[in-house]
Amino acid sequence: MAAGIKTFYRRLPFFKKSSWHSIFSPTETASVGEITRKLALRLTTSEIIEKAVQSAEKQTGYPGSTHWHPYSVSQGHAGIALFFGHLDLCFPNEGWDKHAHNYLTKASLPVETIETPHLGLHTGLAGLAYTTLYLSKEGVFSQTSG
């Protein structure tokens, strides 16, 4: 990759070394990590996602508020891909990147058949582009992820 492009990616905030520190004790941090992993494992199956989407549509008191679009970050596979991508950052070498790329594929494929997809960050193609960039890790997808 050209040096200029690599420098560009390193300037993006999510590629910088974080100075963030947990407010939890080491025991609490381990517990939160374990709960997060258990939740994430449930999200690795598409059936759970489909059931959750259907339940949300039936149970909401605001029918216009649920609109699943696979390419959406806020209500779609792109958001789940972003979640798994961040898990991979927090818990490297646990295989979360594979799930992230699986959901990125699920988010991307329907875009080809949509005549006029939304363009916004949360519900549109800009969010899908951001998710793709985030998962790319400095602009180059991992050889083992795809």
Q: Give the DSSP H or E segment for 7.
A: helix 3-11
The values of phi and psi at residue 139, to 5°, are 85, 0
Distance of CA 2 to the CA centre of its chain: 27
Q: What is the pLDDT of residue 87?
A: 92
The chain-wide mean pLDDT, for the chain, equals 83
CB contact at 8 A, 71 and 124: yes
How far apart, in Å, are the Cα atoms of 100 and each of 7, 25, 30, 37? 25, 29, 22, 14
Q: What is the pLDDT of residue 13?
A: 57
In angstroms, the CA 44 to CA 73 distance is 17
Q: What is the pLDDT of residues 65-112, one digit of tens each?
A: 888 889 999 999 999 999 999 999 888 899 999 999 999 999 999 888
pTM of the model: 0.79
Residue 76, both tokens: 């779609």
The values of phi and psi at residue 91, to 5°, are -130, 75
Q: What is the pLDDT of residue 132?
A: 93
Q: Give the DSSP H or E segment for 84.
A: helix 77-90
Q: What is the pLDDT of residue 145?
A: 46
Q: What is the pLDDT of residue 90?
A: 86
